[in-house]
Chains A and B, each alone.
Chain A
């Protein structure tokens, strides 16, 4: 993935995280409102959904980190990803490394 493509992917993931955060914020205010008015029915499902949203946000964050790592490593290692760089180094040395097999 090139630099511009990486930025687009990261921006898309960040927009999704922001959208999920809005839903999570609404869920929290609605649950608090229900709790304070003496209604306990929606509290457990809301906590469950909030947890799922958090997992989704964290997954998107890991996606952003992966894209970031891939693209920035290409910048630092002269057009090659860190993995490709490892493979090239190993081949130059004539050593069969784990990276080469993987």
Chain B
């Protein structure tokens, strides 16, 4: 992208200013070129994420029995793992025959959340992030998102986990 023809000004003169006054222009132009290249890089990063997202495989969760009805009383909790043994979850009995379950990993820095019965909320002790028991949404603190919800269904006396809703 030459801006002047070769007869009037050569490339070296365009990029390496002889006059002190022109040097300020050259340095600014080169720096702005670098800034625009950075912008291209970040746009390419966005496109990369978009493409990765298109080709992301859909996660299929297996069903797993995680509790029996009546196993925990109202206001009590049960810890279990789902879908993998390393994925800790917490189940709370909020009312008679009403259970909710969430991932136990705080969405801030993955500390384990616990149920605070007096305040009726899930709390992260690391940075005082609070989550609603009813839907896992953030009540207060640094967590950026709700807790992932474990989808439960009832089969006879068993509570079956069928998936994770982020």
Query: B109 an interface residue at 8 Å Cβ cutoff?
Result: no
Per-residue interface assignment for chain B, residues 19 to 58, with 1 indicating a CB less than 8 Å from any chain A CB and 0 otherwise: 1011011001101110110111011011101101100100
Are A50 and B43 in touch, CB under 8 angstroms? yes
Interface size for chain A: under 10, 10 to 19, 20 to 34, or 35 or more residues? Answer: 35 or more
Q: Contacts A20-B39, A24-B39 given: A31-B3 contact, CB under 8 Å?
A: no
The reply on A51 being an interface residue by CB < 8 A is yes
State the Cβ distance, B65 to closest chain A Cβ, in Å: 24
Closest partner residue, chain A, to B28 (CB atom): A10
Do the beta carbons of B40 and A54 come within 8 Å of each other? yes
In whole angstroms, what is the CA distance A54 to B47 when docked?
Answer: 12
Chain B interface size band reads: 35 or more
* Binding site secondary structure of chain A: helix
Given A17-B39, A27-B42, A65-B1: 6 more A-B contacts, CB < 8 Å? A14-B35, A20-B39, A31-B49, A35-B49, A43-B50, A64-B29
Can you show 22 pairs from A to B with CB atoms below 8 A apart? A3-B21, A13-B32, A14-B31, A17-B36, A25-B42, A31-B46, A38-B148, A44-B50, A47-B43, A50-B42, A54-B40, A57-B36, A65-B1, A68-B3, A72-B22, A73-B9, A75-B21, A76-B9, A76-B13, A82-B4, A82-B8, A85-B8
